[in-house]
Amino acid sequence: MGKVLVVLQNAYSPSASRRTELQDPEALQEGIWGSYTGSRLQQMLPENCEVHVVNSTPEIGTHSDSVLKPDLDYLWQEIDAYDPDLILACGRVAQEAVAKVFGLVNAPHPASRRLSKKEMARIRRKLTRILREETNAS
């Protein structure tokens, strides 16, 4: 059916005394499906698809509400290595990180009556910022 990459915003371990680097990325693949997150993912994902789960950063937090800054280089490497047909970004941090990697900006249809001049200016600023970041990264 296809390859799905799931990007989570946070991995955490209650036993971690401080933020640490994810030591064994394959342990995440094995351990995720026995967790609450994994059981919820199984309900969301289509049957018969190949799934790979990563975090938006190789770091792990110390508790479930840890908010870690995404590592866009790491995320791009993961996406490039897995070459998914579809990406499911779970959580605001993961969604924003995936959008930055792909330069995604959501906007209303240009002919929408709800699209204000203020909103069009905001979209222009966001597109300009992304293009500058891309140009500076190259």
Range of weakest confidence among 11-15, 60-64, 91-95, 101-105: 11-15
pLDDT of 65 above 60: yes
Task: Give residue-wise pLDDT tens across range 115-131.
Answer: 999 999 998 998 888 77
- Counting DSSP H helices and E strands in the chain, the numbers are 5, 5
Task: Give residue-wise pLDDT tens across range 2-43.
Answer: 899 999 887 666 665 555 555 556 666 666 777 788 888 899
Higher pLDDT, 14 or 64: 64
Map out the domains of the chain as residue ranges: 3-104, 106-138
Task: Give residue-wise pLDDT tens across range 39-54.
Answer: 888 999 988 889 998 8
Q: CA-to-CA distance for 20 and 26, rounded, in angstroms?
A: 16
Q: From residue 123, how far is each of 105, 107, 133 by CA, in Å?
A: 8, 7, 15
Rounded to 5 degrees, φ, ψ at 7 are -110, 115
User: Structure tokens of 73?
Assistant: 């280089």
Q: CA-to-CA distance for 38 and 42, rounded, in angstroms?
A: 6
Q: Is the pTM of this model over 0.85?
A: no
Query: Is residue 20 a contact partner of residue 103, using CB atoms and an 8 Å limit?
Result: no
Query: Is residue 129 a contact partner of residue 123, using CB atoms and an 8 Å limit?
Result: no
In this structure, the dihedral spanned by the alpha carbons of residues 35, 39, 78 and 123, taken in order and rounded to 10 degrees, is: -120
Going by pLDDT thresholds of 50, 70 and 90, the confidence category of residue 83 is very high
Beta-strand pair 59-60/20-21: antiparallel
Average pLDDT on 97-110 reads: 85
Going by pLDDT thresholds of 50, 70 and 90, the confidence category of residue 64 is confident
Task: Please compute, for residue 96, the number of CA atoms within 13 A of its CA located in the half-sphere on the CB side.
Answer: 11
pLDDT of residue 55: 87
